[in-house]
Amino acid sequence: MTVKKARIAVLVSGGGTNLQAIIDAEKSGIIKSGEVAVVISSNPGAYALERAKAAGIPSEVVSKKEASSRAEFEEKLSDTIDRYGTDLIVLAGFMCILSPEFTKKYERKIINVHPSLIPSFCGEGFYGLKVHEAALKKGVKVTGATVHFVNEIPDGGEIIMQKAVSVEDGDTPEILQKRVMREAEWIILPAAVEYVSSMVISK
C-alpha cells in the first residue's frame, strides 16, 4: 500500500540551508507526511540547486531578472508549481515578495520561515541580516524564528510555530544569524512542514 504524501515545492534564491534542513528531516523521518517534489529557484546561480541535485530532487529555475514583469514571473512560477502537482509551497530563503493575487491562489498552502519572533522585526524590508541588525540595535535579549502561513501582507499570515533564541553579549548580526538558524529555523521549519503536510493529506 502506498502512503499518500503531500507534494512539496521548495522555493529558494540562495544557499539553501533551510532547504537542506528539510531534505535532512525527510531522510530522518521527521517529515513523513510530505516529500519534496521540486526545488524552484528565482536565481540560476543559487547553491540551493546543487543541494537539490545532490539529493536527487528535480529542480527548476524561474528567473525573476529574465521576466519582463512581476505578473510574468509569477505566471511562470505558478505554472511550474502546478506542473508538479504541488500541495504545499515552502519559501526557504526566497527573496521575492509575492503579490496578493498569487498568495490568494495558494491560500493556506504557502509557508515561510522568518528569522525573528513575529511581530518583532518583520514586514517589508526585513530580511536576511537586516533582521538581526535591527534586533541587536534594539537591544533585545531574546530573538528567534517564526514559521507562518503566507498571505498578502509580508510576514502577516497566521503563525504556525515559533522558537526563541537567546541574544548573547558580543553577538554580531552574522553570529546571531547562525545561532537563530541552528537553534530555531532548522528545527521549526521541518516540524512545521510535517504539521502542515499532515493536515493537507488528512483533508
Question: Annotated active-site positions, please?
Answer: 114
Phi, psi angles (nearest 5°) of residue 181 = -60, -50
Which of 136, 97, 70 has the alpha carbon at shortest distance from 11?
Answer: 97
- At position 109, the amino acid (one-letter code) is K
